Amino acid sequence: KDAVKLRDRWPHAVPEPLVAVLDLQWEEGGDRIAAALDAVVIPVERL
């Protein structure tokens, strides 16, 4: 979110900062949510 806010203000001569990727862990119902997302989201490999 902050990277989007700073995109237009970041100096072009400076390398862009590293971005961390967060992992998501479901306590329950994760398989149902994953199935619902799989039904409506196109995988990147198929774009």
pLDDT at res. 31: 92
Dihedrals phi, psi of 8, to nearest 5 degrees: -75, -15
Residue-wise pLDDT for 1-47, tens only, equals: 677 787 788 888 988 877 778 888 889 999 999 899 999 998 888 88
Count of domains forming the chain: 1
Which amino acid, residue 8? D
**Looking at residue 1, what is its pLDDT?**
64
Which amino acid, 23?
D
pLDDT of residue 6: 79
Distance (Å, rounded) from C-alpha 22 to C-alpha 18? 13
Q: Which domain holds residue 40?
A: 2-46
Backbone angles phi, psi at 31, to 5 degrees: -65, -35
Cα distances from 27 to residues 20, 33, 35, 37, 39, in angstroms, run 22, 12, 16, 17, 21
Q: Does the reported pTM lie above 0.85?
A: no
pLDDT at 3: 72
